Every structure is written in structure tokens, then in C-alpha cells.
Amino acid sequence: MHKGLIKKSKEHTLRLFKYTGRKPLYTVCEDSCSEVSRLLASWFRDKMPGTKIYIAKGKIKNQAHDIIIIDGGKGVDIVDPTVWQFFKNKRSIIMGKTRTIGEAPHKLTDIYGGKWKISERITKYSKKEIIKLERVLAKNIG
């Protein structure tokens, strides 16, 4: 994934949170990884047609976490739009890269610990599904 798209994806993520800088990011993004991951995955689908995009689910201690896996054909990018829950000072939402989709859960275990699996492939969401995700996110971030 090129730097311009990485920067725009982080900016889009911050817009999803309606982030103003008043609160630390790690408090803003608590309990919203599911919705934000799916909303950002949908945004990636629009920006990168033909790319295979997945959600990986992890169980870290007693906490569930969702992350985006992007298979662009020339390697797999691991994107965590709520990375600040675990790494408070992280600047990028890009967590790593693997050669294949099958390597991604192992890489996630190396980064976060816990157990990981690819749980779903992201297809195009309907407008109604996007609105539902946005409503849940708005409720979560208060």
C-alpha cells in the first residue's frame, strides 16, 4: 500500500471518530474496533477495487479485537484502525506486512499475543449497513 493511501486511511479513521484532539486517542477508540474496522474496510474497497479485504478477529487475554487484512496481490497489509487501544503512542495504523493471507494470523500473534483467525471477507456493504455501523460507533464514542 502506498504512503498516500496510508495517510488518507488514517485521516478517514480519525474522521470516523470525530477526533478533535481533546481526548487521548486510546480513550476515544475503546470498544469500537468492530465498527471502525468494517467502516474503514468498506472505504478501502472503494479506494482499491478488486482487492481482497478481510477482518481478522483476535482474543487477547479477555478482550476481543478486530483488524483489517488487505491482500493486494503483492503482499498482505495488516491495518489496525484502533491501534491506540494497545499501543498508545503509535503513529501509523499499519501494523505490518506478510507475503500471504495465511501468515497474517501468526504475525498478529507476534504483535498482540493471543489467538487470531481470519473471520470474514468484506464485500460491499449496503447504505443501510453503513448507517447502522455509524450509529453504533457514534453511541460507543459518546
Task: Give the model confidence (pLDDT) of 82-126 as tens digits.
Answer: 999 999 999 999 999 999 999 999 999 999 999 999 999 998 888
Mean predicted lDDT score pLDDT of the chain = 91
119: helix, coil or strand? strand
Whole-angstrom distance, CA of residue 121 vs CA of residue 53: 6
Q: What's the one-letter identity of residue 24?
A: P
Task: Tell me 93's DSSP state.
Answer: S
Q: How far is CA 22 from CA 19, 77, 96, in A?
A: 8, 30, 29
pTM for the structure as a whole: 0.92
Whole-angstrom distance, CA of residue 17 vs CA of residue 60: 23
pLDDT tens for each residue of 9-60: 999 999 988 888 888 888 888 888 999 999 999 999 999 988 999 999 999 8
